[in-house]
Amino acid sequence: MDTLSLQDPVFATYVIAATLMILKAVSMSWLTVVRMMQVRGGFRSPEDLKRTPLNPAPDPRQLEPDERVERIRRIHLNDLENLPFFFAAGFLYVLTQPSLLLARLLLYGYVVSRLLHFAAYATARTHDTRATLWTVGSLIIIFMTCSTLLAALGYR
């Protein structure tokens, strides 16, 4: 079976996990905009204070940071810092032709850890909670990367 085909269940698992993470990351941009419109603030650029149909009564205070907006921005930044490693590690891991069960545990495990991390961050859980969920995802990436490296070196 061709490794890079949706007919390959391991590759299909990767594609599902990766697309879910892309949708999650893109949704953070939309959530930021929604939150900015809700609070009518948290804008970043001076030109955002121009009168427009979406901002009919500009106020200089709209450029002040708003914690509700900034929290979503931090979640988005965290995705932008972490997801590229998942995309690369997961894709390379698929090339090692791992067992379907292990691939599903790792790839979907990563997705679950990131969704739980989002929920913890969005609801202002402690750093310990967020760090634990981040660590799960990070360990999954490390495992896939080390497995890929060993396979490339001929040890698997």
Tell me how far apart the alpha carbons of residues 11 and 28 are, in angstroms, rounded to a whole number: 26
Tell me how far apart the alpha carbons of residues 58 and 52 are, in angstroms, rounded to a whole number: 8
This prediction's pTM: 0.91
pLDDT at 1 exceeding the cut of 70: no
DSSP conformation class of 80: H
DSSP conformation class of 40: T
Q: Which of 19, 20, 156, 137 is closest to 95 using CA atoms?
A: 156
Tell me how far apart the alpha carbons of residues 59 and 99 are, in angstroms, rounded to a whole number: 58
| Average pLDDT score, the chain | 95
Q: How many CA atoms lie within 13 A of 99 on its CB side?
A: 3
Tell me, what's the pLDDT at 35? 95
Tell me, what's the pLDDT at 156? 73
Find the mean pLDDT for residues 56-75. Answer: 93
pLDDT at 33 exceeding the cut of 90: yes
Tell me how far apart the alpha carbons of residues 9 and 64 are, in angstroms, rounded to a whole number: 49
Q: Which of 18, 5, 7 is closest to 144 using CA atoms?
A: 18
Is residue 111 within a helix (H) or strand (E), and if so which, with residue range?
A: helix 100-122
| Model confidence pLDDT, tens digit, residues 82-109 | 999 999 999 999 999 999 999 999 999 9
* 156 contacts: CB under 8 Å, gap ≥ 6: 96, 147, 150
Paired tokens of 137: 């995802």
Contact 76, 114 (CB under 8 A): no
